[in-house]
């Protein structure tokens, strides 16, 4: 089983919001609110800066990274029931990985800070030949590391982007409304499973 990070395992939006608004103030642009930032994230930090700063996105990216180095741990908390369900999955022998468009160094830092890094056999993000979602290379990389095939894999996320990525990798996908997408939007992405809460994940794994 492979998980997205933001909005699925972790509520990291407060840290992103703080650093994005610091960046926007630096550029002399109006700030955004929490619902706004939830709608903007998901396709990687460069895409976020392009949305927020337009032609000044590279300047914004440098400033944002400096700020997010300070806020990515204090501004991230576990989503409800995550630690308990990850423990239950490990006890059932389920191999677990993370595939997120967040830069992998931030993902690893957050997982370690929240003390759930021990549950995952692989953590993957955009890096070199591994392209951002919806390209399937991230999921393919994790599956190879875990030694599992596509038909043995479930990807769990919170966005239509996650469903698109799973479809591209030919793996099943479960979506949970933990980020900026509504249930209607998630349903329109045609997931194999549409869950209402994180602990419903456990019902998809046989003992």
Which residues share a beta bridge with 123?
Answer: 98
Element (H, E) at 63: helix 57-71
- Mapping DSSP onto H, E and C, the string for 106-131 reads HHHHHHHHCCCHHHCCEEECCECCEC
CA distance linking residue 179 with residue 49, whole number of Å: 19
CA distance linking residue 133 with residue 47, whole number of Å: 12
Active-site annotation, residues: 4
Residue 66: partners with Cβ closer than 8 Å, 6 or more residues away? none
What's the token pair of residue 171? 């793996």
């Amino acid at each position: 089983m492979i998980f997205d990070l933001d909005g699925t395992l972790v509520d990291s939006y407060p840290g992103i919001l703080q650093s994005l608004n610091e960046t926007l103030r630096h550029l002399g642009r109006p700030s955004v609110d929490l619902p706004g930032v939830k709608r903007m994230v998901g396709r990687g930090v460069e895409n976020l800066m392009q949305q927020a700063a337009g032609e000044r996105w590279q300047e914004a990216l440098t400033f944002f990274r400096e700020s997010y180095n300070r806020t990515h741990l204090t501004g991230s908390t576990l989503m409800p029931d995550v630690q308990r369900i990850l423990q239950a999955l490990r006890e059932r022998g389920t191999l677990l990985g993370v595939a997120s468009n967040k830069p992998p160094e931030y993902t690893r830092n957050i997982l370690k800070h929240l003390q759930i890094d021990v549950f995952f056999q692989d953590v993957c993000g955009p890096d070199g030949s591994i392209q951002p979602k919806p390209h399937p290379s991230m999921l393919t990389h994790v599956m190879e590391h875990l030694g599992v095939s596509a038909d043995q894999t479930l990807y769990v996320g919170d966005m239509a982007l996650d469903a698109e990525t799973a479809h591209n990798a030919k793996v099943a996908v479960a979506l949970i409304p933990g980020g900026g997408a509504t249930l209607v939007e998630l349903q329109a992405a045609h997931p194999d499973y549409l869950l209402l809460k994180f602990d419903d994940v456990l019902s998809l794994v046989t003992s």
